[in-house]
Structure 1
């Protein structure tokens, strides 16, 4: 009798739709909780990886990387200083391992970065002749991009060439070659590997003055016939700044130039920052104290909720403009490996990413994945 009653109510639920199973847009139920699966129709989801992941020594981080992400960027191993430490010396070992890891796991592989004023070959800072500088740049970019031709999907060709007011930074390249170094670098990269996409990458690209400067930079490249496929907006942001409106205005403005937009270095600091801190300029360092390191042991639940809500709002904006955004890359896999533990103040405990120090998903992770699954259910 009991079984008959249960069956009767089960049939009623099915007929009235309460028990109806909607057709899943994921291949399996588990896919609904995996970042790269959740957003596979919207944009790539990536992470910047360090030496321990590249060499596969950090097994847990590698496991999370392979499960959750489908594009990678190198934190340091492809920067000039690491790759090309002296005029006649190249160290390709770690970069080779990085590219091999990405290809083995069918990932979209990004090269970061060909030309940057920081972490450069030290001899470059003493070059004063324009022709010599151009030869060094050409030799470096050509050697590196030729080696990885067909293996690197996209290059950050020039990194952080702008000041906060939108003017060109007086880097060693600018001082010696003037503004033409930008066009020169992009054209050398295109010639060395025509198949790779080429990007300009910078922080604080949401600020109106810096956005105007970036647009001028890009338009000048385009007018000269220089190939540029996209712009990277570094996402080193906070719990309240930048405003979503400023981020949105920038995404739209860069897209109108005919470029792909990438969010290239996403992390959300939950710690107070020193006064006068400017973006992500790594030369800035400040002293530590208890006020600047308020959560040394654990993140309060109220702040973790705030972080989750912030990430949800940001990804809601990204989804709104998914036709313009090509990829979203977090700057690190988990909180432990984040550079924000040591910048702009050393030895702090920060919590800026979606996975905690034990590689467990945080509230922010669930907020980001749930946002997408909720939108799918409503379709």
Structure 2
């Protein structure tokens, strides 16, 4: 984006006419648009939950339309939601999601076709409850992928075809897909998706992608796909990050390693937790003890000034890294729109108050938004 245009946007965003609208204009003036700030670099996306897809969360929809130009569904396209019983597809929410993206001229991502964590049990068992054969699982995968992808052929721009198949040490996750089919399940998923819509971009998506072992495992897996002549267009690096992890250096190594494969890189599920890790007590209730609650849920009334400042700097550091590699990064998607509905409030223990996104619980932009505008203006 040209410097003169950035200056105009910056003045409009942070001039004296601050407002308190639920559309994200409180800190930034009526014409703030994150998507315009990054127009010459990458898509700026957000994940949509059910209430946003149905239009129930009006203020979040206003933010989404103003600031973002790419959308991903949080849950409504996962296999247990879209085909809860064999042969019974529930497309109502997925249809609404795609229609919203089309109405607003957005880049639309389908998430996700094959994932062990939210796959229905019927996928892997027959009517007697026995594990299905390899041929049965192949047939079910093909039917599911081709039905879903085929329904949105030419409408969804890219698909997270396989999600979270590699462990941190680089080995394959021992999911039911892997136990029955081995690594072939990944090859088949990409093959079936391409056959269903040859024009759609196809992605692999995973977390902890700055981990050296996982980096090596993903690189090896992608090279295998490429050697077999299978189509893969991008790698999604889930950006579930904390104040002290991962290191920017390791994150950058993965961006470079994945880019060197000749595919695009996407930051797919960006959120930044300020809360401490529960360690071995991740399954405990937050209300177990008062001390435990205070330790793991320290900011119930908002972030202290010094924590907010550190949060802003940490987010800015990541965005500076993304901008450094903008030639190889096609999209940065936050996993949610505001702190109000982020999954991080309830994971890995329920009842916590977290602040992981760019917009707060009142649908207003945080200081990081201003910091991004200032950085882009100066650079």
- Could you say whether these structures have the same fold, taking a TM-score greater than 0.5 normalized by the shorter chain as the test? yes
Which has the higher Rg, Structure 1 or Structure 2? 1
Kindly indicate whether the alpha-carbon contact (under 8 Å) linking 1:203 and 1:236 is maintained by their aligned counterparts in 2: yes
1:40-189 superposed matches below 5 A = 40-126=39-125, 127-189=131-193
Match in the other structure for 1:374: 378
Match in the other structure for 2:251: 247
Q: Distance in 1 between matches of 2:357 and 2:232?
A: 30
Structure 2 residue aligned with 1:205, among 182, 204, 209? 209
Q: After superposing the two structures, state which structure 1 stretch, 165-174 or 290-299, moved more.
A: 290-299
Aligned length: 348
Match in the other structure for 1:24: 5
Q: Distance in 1 between matches of 2:110 and 2:214?
A: 24
1:334 aligns with 2:334: no
Q: Distance in 1 between matches of 2:149 and 2:278?
A: 38
Q: Distance in 1 between matches of 2:202 and 2:72?
A: 14
1:231 aligns with 2:235: yes
Secondary structure of the structure 2 residue equivalent to 1:212: helix
1:12-64 deviation per Cα after TM superposition (whole angstroms, max 9, x unaligned): xxxxxxxxxx8435776547842100001000000001011111111100000
Match in the other structure for 1:302: 306
Q: Distance in 2 between matches of 1:326 and 1:159?
A: 18
Match in the other structure for 1:287: 285
Q: What displacement does 1:209 show?
A: 0.6
Q: Distance in 2 between matches of 1:188 and 1:23?
A: 47
Q: TM-score, normalised by structure 2?
A: 0.89
Match in the other structure for 1:361: 365
Q: Distance in 2 between matches of 1:25 and 1:335?
A: 27
Kindly indicate whether the alpha-carbon contact (under 8 Å) linking 1:38 and 1:373 is maintained by their aligned counterparts in 2: no
Q: What displacement does 1:290 show?
A: 2.2
1:271 aligns with 2:275: yes
Q: What displacement does 1:317 show?
A: 0.7
Kindly indicate whether the alpha-carbon contact (under 8 Å) linking 2:283 and 2:349 is maintained by their aligned counterparts in 1: yes
Match in the other structure for 1:352: 356
1:64-118 deviation per Cα after TM superposition (whole angstroms, max 9, x unaligned): 0000000000000000011000002000000000000001000000000000001
Secondary structure of the structure 2 residue equivalent to 1:90: coil
Match in the other structure for 1:14: none
Match in the other structure for 1:9: none
1:157-200 deviation per Cα after TM superposition (whole angstroms, max 9, x unaligned): 00000111010001110000111111011000000000100000
- Gaps of at least 5 residues in structure 1 are 1-21, 278-283
Q: Distance in 2 between matches of 1:327 and 1:26?
A: 24
Q: What displacement does 1:286 show?
A: 3.8
Q: What displacement does 1:276 show?
A: 5.5
Secondary structure of the structure 2 residue equivalent to 1:24: helix
1:316 aligns with 2:320: yes
Q: What displacement does 1:372 show?
A: 1.3
Q: Distance in 1 between matches of 2:373 and 2:44?
A: 12
Q: Distance in 1 between matches of 2:155 and 2:5?
A: 34
Secondary structure of the structure 1 residue equivalent to 2:56: coil
Q: Distance in 1 between matches of 2:217 and 2:59?
A: 41
Kindly indicate whether the alpha-carbon contact (under 8 Å) linking 2:43 and 2:330 is maintained by their aligned counterparts in 1: yes
Q: Distance in 2 between matches of 1:240 and 1:197?
A: 33
Q: Distance in 1 between matches of 2:51 and 2:7?
A: 32
Task: Name segments (4+ residues, structure 1) moved above 6 Å.
Answer: none
Aligned-CA RMSD value? 1.5
Match in the other structure for 1:15: none
Kindly indicate whether the alpha-carbon contact (under 8 Å) linking 2:6 and 2:37 is maintained by their aligned counterparts in 1: no
